[in-house]
Structure 1
Amino acid sequence: MKTSVFLAFALNISFLAPVSAQTPPQRPAQLNPPVQDEIVRVTTNLVQVDAVVTDKNGKPVTDLRAEDFEILEDGKPQKISNLSYISTEPSSSQVSISPTIPPKNEAPAPAPVPARGKVRRTIVFAIDDLGISNQSLQIVKQALKRFVEEAMQPDDLVAIVRTRSGSGALQRFTTDKRQLNANIDSLRWECLNRAGPAVLRPSPCPPLPYSSYATLAHTLRSLSYIVEGLKTLPGRKSMILFTDSFAVLPNPADLTIGAEGNKPTPGATPTESVPQTDESRSKTGDVSMYFDLGRGLIQLSNQASVVIYAVDARGLVTTNLRAEDPREVAQTFSQGPLHDTIYGNLLSHRSNAVLETQLGLQELAHQTGGFAIINNNDLGEGVTRIVDDLKGYYLIGYRPSDSTFEKRNGRTPFHTITIKLKRSGLSVRSRKGFYGVPDETRRPVTPQTREQRMVAALESPFAAGDVRIRLTTLFGNVPQGSLVRTLIHIDARDLTFTDQPDGWRQANFDVLVSSYGENGLIADYLSRTETIRARGKTYANMLHYGLNYSLLVPIKKPGPYQLRTAVRDTATNRTGSAYEFIEVPDLKKGRLSLSGIALSSTYLDLAALSLSSGVYNAPPDNGDLVQPTPAVRRFIPGMTIDYRYVIYNALPSTKNSLPELTAQVRLFRDGEMISSKEEPASDSSRLQIDLKRLSAKGNLQLGDDLIPGNYVLQIIVTDPRAKEQYGMASQWIDFEVVK
């Protein structure tokens, strides 16, 4: 095992380097020509921004000249030194790529990857599965399918990314429509979410154990993570965000989109708010914190030349009573004047919630040169509008003054950019400003060393997809403290095995796991270098079923975390990455809590697994797709699923006797419960040494007629001796059923 001190330093420096600490170099004498790969440029002799001009019907206008524009920096007119219109539309000679249906009896040819200079558009569809309902997610999937089939161009690089979790192998940019359709099909709704299964419908999942704004913080940081990964990519770069919940503004009632008060103030620098405790946190404080995070996302987007388009996936939201509302609510609001007042308060609350998200989306898009799609039930048409907007743009440049890069009161200033049109009847959209730091001082460095490659894999959701991995995170607790077990499934075919004496095959790989806390900084990390040897049937099974690798990551404080992992094949320097969102409860409060749930089809001793990290093989099975292990969780109809977990803080029924706990085991598909059963919670067949940490197990027989797809197993444990607010705990885990 090898651990590098450099990693902790490099990871934190890569996220914390303040623009205020950078010093601009001397101005060169010659004017740099515009570079299309870098749409937004801030150099000591050229500030270049992009702008989209449309007519009153929303159609692009492409014939304007420099004299038709006026550009102002901090309200002062600037002389335009260069202007050009860049079209991203394919030439008539280009043909469609990767047909969805290949010719009969022929294998489909792989989609060609365009050369960097030929990439016209780089598009990321960001699915906020930390804040989207299952109902909205299904509509989003239809809209994405429509884009792939009807609007995708031959030289488009496209990726589909989730805010909650993901894998570098699945999120790689591609021109292959088949791969994108497969990625769309894999999108699924999960319980750890600010939204329920349907718009305004109560969720079958338990309430989040922390403020729902905590998941909003991770949404914002995931979006920043995505934007960071777009910095070095070519073409017209855009991120299209789909969400149901995006309340990031401090006071929506007082906000006017595009008003001066909503722009970063001159002299301001990016800030990270200190997370508040549950006791001190209020909604107002939360929203103020996430406004700062949203402003940081806007700054990153403008630096990386990324246009953000925001889509309210709910469409036109009805705030009146709906069929999804509980029956008791409907009855209450039909019983007199007092209840009419309550009903009015409900409608007001719902209207404000809708407005908060819509204003947040509008501001995010407005500040980065995009626009928001709200109150539109046809998301496919909304995506078409966005794609049409990406057909071309103007590049407008001017020579900045020396004062642009001078610090004010020791801080790097923010400069507002205003673009006006002298021709009437037209509209222009562009970014709203930049920080006075020239691009020369923040050029990305190509990773060279082992540590740099691993850091790069963690920093970008797109940079590492050559080693296919899958990440599962399970919370646990031992007397020494809380931890997260990371289960990493590695496709062994992506590792380089060398021949050894006596038929042995050997591969070496590096593993890095980091936990990111609510403040966006690294809470802890583990780095390992492993050597694996196998031969004969074991080697064949490893190539066929993959390799499962396990690490324990200590967690010092409760709260929500993002776990990221990177794997590097040492022989070829190929890397893979994945990330997952997880919440860690505060066990010191005495509240009943559950560990993560481990699923398998055979007995698995979690206590033995928690003693040390290790490498173990996935067991053989009777199908190419079936892998009933905790790391993969892929089962077939008729199979018996074994589940194991640990119960924390249960109250004993009598002195030193086992608590009388009951567990409700629920099975969900697409947010709908399809089965439920009750059973004793603790494992009476096992000696329970620590009554504060009770082992529990059970099994679930899958029906022979179960439809293939994604499922969620939820376990709710109830302690009748505990106080009402402390006597219930819930945990869930997703799995897949295949034929």
Structure 2
Amino acid sequence: MQKLGVPLVICLATLLTGRVPAQNAPPAESGPAIRVTTTEVLLDLVVRDKRGRQVKNLKPDDVEIYEDGVRQQILSFRPVASHEVQRREAGIETKKATVNLSPRSLRAVNVVCIVFHNLDPVSRGRAIDAVQEFIKNDLQPDTYVGVFNLNDRLTALYPFTNNRKELLQAAQTAFNGRPMDFSRASEAILTANPTQATIAVAVGTRSANVTLQVTGGEISKTAFAGADVSNGTGANILRGDQVRERGDFSHIIGMRETDKIITMVNELGTLPGRKTVLLVTTGLVTTGDPKRFQSILDNANRSGVTVYALDTAGLSETDTIQAGNNAAGRVAGVSRTQAAANSSLGAMREKSRQNDNMNDAVRTSDTQASLRELSEGTGGFLIANTNDFRKPFQHIIEDLDAHYEASYHPSSDRYDGHLRKIEVKLARADLQVESRTGYFAMPDFNGSSTLAPFETTALAALNAQPLPHAFDFRSAAFNFQNDGTHSQNVLAFELPGSSLIGTPDPEHKTHRFHVSLLALVKEASGQIVDRFSVDAPYQIPNENLPAVRASSITYTHPVSLPPGHYTVETAVVDREGGRSAANAFPLSIPERRKGVGMSSVVLVQQVEPVSGPVDASDPLVFQRKRMVPMAALELKSTAKPVVYFVVYPDKANAEKPRIQVEFLSGGQVLAKQTADLPPADPSGTIPMIVGAAMRPGNCELRITALQGSASATESVNYTVAAK
């Protein structure tokens, strides 16, 4: 481009010296880039009975699949063996009955919750080693693992992820700086005897001798061979008092422990997909109430929660079963003294509590029994009395992999981004099924309709009614060259920095921002013809934070569309702030007109260099410089705006093209200037930069391309703030 000297208010100028290289127009396309092929849906199903156990003898006639209330014809139904999904992902070919299909795989979502429970400093090390061994196993692609601590509430130690390296690190640092609440007594207390004080009075003829004998608190050497624990009188009395306290409050302890399990099931039960809990613990004390415990199992099975309990004690001389036997032995000893006369007050108290002590011996000493019942009652199993966890962990992985796969062709061929709800019905009322409850109907772009997780979140925002509006952002579209069948266009999305929430990072003296964006272009029928998405994390130094707040983040997307009427739907997710906003605006692509043509007039926010390869389909790029468009169209009084546009001369017209620039404020023409345009570049186009005039209030810059009697007019409206 060349500089054009224009007096008065308007000044035409080139941004760069020298000629602008030709814009390479993309090759003509026959239509929107949509693969119009029949899509096969592959739906994973996990079927369990009322006790949470997987059902492996289901037949195709036992299953009905509905999509948006319409029953679908099932093409195939088969059980999927362990690790078949991983082999398929690795590229091992599997035979299919139909080869001309673009499968949409709706795999079962596996949520694995590693829950630490009742761990003391000694057992923590074994627990971490066991968890790291579990994480090393190969998991299905759609398996997400989270790490939790279970106390009076369920606390997330690390969010769900399928990144094995992150999980190994999270397991290693799970207890760093985090206080643990211990609700059960030590293992020594489990096997100690309660303290008893016996007062013996020997009455003589002239005096009485009173003897106080304190017993209890001794540790069972059967359960603790070689235990290095003091058995002195003081230590035994203290330990015995703890046993007495544990006995008196055992029911309260059992209530609290079962309340923890109820909290865990209730909170994890709200998660999607198959919920597998690896409960890493030292044991579970219950109230002994079978109805209360059965209600916990029923709730877990209704919520799809399967528990695999892992007793961190492993294979050692310390055995909770032995502890239970010792406790039962104490009760038997008390029973043998029931008929004895002249018992002390303490002994009589023990006799009166015989039944309670028996119940306590069964439910609080052998803490593995309740873990086994919790695991097997929800379809899992107990891992205990072993130091080799590889085989049981492999068994868990096989349970996670096992499922049925059903395939069908959706009866609807409308791909508009809306959620298609899936319902699976079973012929047997005693069975429960887990599957994806729906999917977003997206067309098959470039051979794949797979959505990234952030795109799914944005689609959920677009499907919400009403659309979310937690913050402001602007969307706009600009038309460029039209070859008669397609038009070059640019979509722009502008997000004010002040709209985002940043998370401070004191260690690095920065703030974290994270923006996700999804835009769908829909034709008049609602069918999606183009998709654009971006997921962008930012780490902003604290000293740059004011500048970011005062500026905007702009994303652009070039798209080629045939003439017609479209709608652009956009969702933006502020991931650090946990908020979203969405909007929609119409986009019209006119038919190509004969004669001179002109692009939209783009108000330029800034100019930035292009690094790397130049996108030839982007009309906002020239001379390795990129015009960043402004979508908000609101200017400060100190701004010095320019606009960018492209003139397309009529090659069949010998007249020299000219340009007319008008500046309007409040609807009144304040300045008008006409000037000749420079010669077209080798591509036949004339890119131009115009300095826009400023006046407080509503302004309009109207530009008309003239060539003989033909003309084309475009304008841009903007608002200037008062000084």
Query: What TM-score bracket applies, with the shorter chain setting the length?
Result: 0.3 to 0.5
Q: Which has the larger radius of gyration?
A: 2
Q: What is the TM-score when the length of structure 2 is the normalising length?
A: 0.34
Q: What is the TM-score when the length of structure 1 is the normalising length?
A: 0.33
